Amino acid sequence: MLSKLRGEIYLFFGAFLFAFNGIISKIVLIDGLSAWRLTQIRCGGAFIILISVFLFFRRSELKATRSELPWLIAFGAVGVTFVQAFYFIAIERMYVGVALLIEFTAPIWILLFLRFVLKKHVPNSLWWAILLAFSGLLMITQIWRGLTLDQIGLIAALIDAFALAGYFLIGDRLGKTKSSAAITTWGFGVASAMMFFVLPVWNFPTEVFSKNMELLGRFSEYTLPGWVLILWIVVMGTIAPYILVVSGLKILSASTASVFGMIEPVMAGMFAWWWLSESLNGIQLVGCVVVIVGIFIADRARQKAGHAA
Q: What is the pLDDT of residue 1?
A: 66
Antiparallel, parallel or unpaired: β 212-214 and 223-225: antiparallel
Residue 113's domain comprises 2-308
Model pLDDT, residue 88: 96
3-state secondary structure (DSSP) of residue 149: coil
- What is the average pLDDT score of the chain? 88
Whether the full predicted model's pTM is greater than 0.75, yes or no, is yes
Cβ-based neighbours of 258, under 8 Å, separated by 6 or more: 296, 299, 300, 303
Residue 255 has pLDDT above 60, yes or no: no
Residues 72, 190: Cα–Cα separation, whole Å: 8
- Which letter does DSSP use for residue 205 in this model? -
Four-residue CA torsion sign, 250, 254, 258, 259: negative
Number of structural domains (the chain) is 1
CA dist., res. 144 & res. 10, Å (int):
41
Cα–Cα distance, 209 to 195 (Å, whole number): 19
Task: Give 98-152 pLDDT, tens digit per residue.
Answer: 999 999 898 889 889 988 888 888 888 889 988 999 899 888 877 666 666 788 9
Q: Which of 75-89, 245-259, 266-280 has the lowest mean pLDDT?
A: 245-259
